[in-house]
Amino acid sequence: MSIDARQFHSEILVWDAHRDVAYEAPLKDRFLQKWMVGVDLDLDLVRAGGVNVQVYAISTASTLGLAPTAQALKELEIVLSMIESHADKVVLVTKIDEILAAKKARKVAAILNFEGAEPILTELGLLRMFYRLGLRAMGLTWNFRNEVADGGYEGREGGGLSQFGRSVVKEMNHLGMVVDIAHMTERGMLEVLELSETPAIVSHGAVGAVRPGHHRAYGDHILEKIAQKGGVFCVTTIPEALASDPQEATLSRFIDHVDHAVKVMGVDHVGLGADFDVYLSRLGLPAERWLRGLEEVDKWPSVTAALIDRNYPLGAVRKIMGENLLNLYQQVIG
Ligand SMILES: [Zn+2]
């Protein structure tokens, strides 16, 4: 079979489940200016990569001197202003039909997500308010413990959901928000999968069978449970989560993680969540910070080509590149 992978890529829906946008943005105004300049460039890269949907992660886990709720509001204001000022290229979406309309209009559809529940403190009312502001997904933790649950880096104890965390999951189900279990402990992940009435996702993670010994690379029992509950597991591009030796962190290794997840979960439960970071990519970090062959978002067509090269049927490629996440979000946010 001969297929023009680039042409095929430009036609299908391509969804990136995790993209850092406002990480440490309020740290320094000088830095912020740099970022504000970088965003426009990045949107061009996103479009060059044929990516239709990006889930924008707002992170407040690193303490910058602001209370997390204030920091989240400040970051949201920056991101929403950025979206407004680039309205020809990007649009904030809160429903599936808006995502499909954005694709038609050749704009990037941006979904708002928190990476860590810190901004809601211990108040479900704050969760509801952020929903009103457009939030449609939330990662319950980043690496560390918060009021909702333990993060995966708290490996010594590996606690799961708090009592408040259980009420947060229920409220997210009720509101129609996607519950993201990336970065949680395995115990926390399993508790959410048991409790949640809607399917959950791992927006950016790796597969333990391919990369043993990394806290972001999960065992088959976790993958199986996510699939059983109708969820989607999204493979990340973070080199150290994909390979113990940075030299071996290549596009081909990334596809190995996808392959194993598909083998364990079935093709309806695997997606992609790059975790590209516009600041870091502009600040000249060393080469081992990037996945070779998939360094930036404009290389996304290489993923489609690599899946076709590994003999995935075109229908399966469509699912992995975006349709699985579209279906999940449709079930949850409507
Ligand atoms: Zn992350």
Tokens 């095929």 found at: 8
- d(CA 111, CA 183) in angstroms, rounded, equals 19
Whole-number Å distance, alpha carbon 204 to ligand 1 midpoint, is 7
The predicted structure's pLDDT at residue 35: 40
Residue 282 has pLDDT above 60, yes or no: no
Whole-number Å distance, alpha carbon 119 to ligand 1 midpoint, is 16
The predicted structure's pLDDT at residue 306: 98
Q: What is the pTM of this model?
A: 0.93
Whole-number Å distance, alpha carbon 93 to ligand 1 midpoint, is 21
Whole-number Å distance, alpha carbon 272 to ligand 1 midpoint, is 13
pLDDT, mean over the chain: 90
Beta bridge partners of 90: 108
The predicted structure's pLDDT at residue 64: 55
- d(CA 126, CA 321) in angstroms, rounded, equals 33
pLDDT in tens, 64-115: 567 899 888 988 888 898 899 899 999 999 999 999 999 999 999 999 999 9
Torsion, Cα of 237, 239, 240, 241 (10° steps) = 30
User: How many domains, the chain?
Assistant: 1
The predicted structure's pLDDT at residue 50: 97
- d(CA 114, CA 130) in angstroms, rounded, equals 10
Structure tokens at 56: 């924008």
CB 242 within 8 A of CB 214: no
Whole-number Å distance, alpha carbon 140 to ligand 1 midpoint, is 11
Q: How would you classify the pairing of strands 15-20 and 53-59?
A: parallel
Whole-number Å distance, alpha carbon 216 to ligand 1 midpoint, is 9
CATH assignment of the domain containing 242: 3.20.20.140
Using alpha carbons, select from 236, 235, 99, 229 the residue that is nearest to residue 173.
229
Whole-number Å distance, alpha carbon 301 to ligand 1 midpoint, is 23
- Tally of residues, the chain: 334
Residue 140 has pLDDT above 70, yes or no: yes
Residue 156 has pLDDT above 80, yes or no: no
User: In terms of residue numbers, what domain contains 205?
Assistant: 5-333
Give the mean pLDDT of 284-295.
76
Measured from the Cβ of residue 37, the count of other Cβ atoms closer than 10 Å reads: 11
Q: Is 295 exposed, middle or buried (0-12, 13-18, 19+ CB in 10 A)?
A: middle
The predicted structure's pLDDT at residue 142: 92
The residue ranges of DSSP E strands in the chain, in sequence order, are 15-20, 53-59, 90-92, 108-115, 135-139, 178-180, 201-207, 217-218, 232-235, 270-272, 276-277
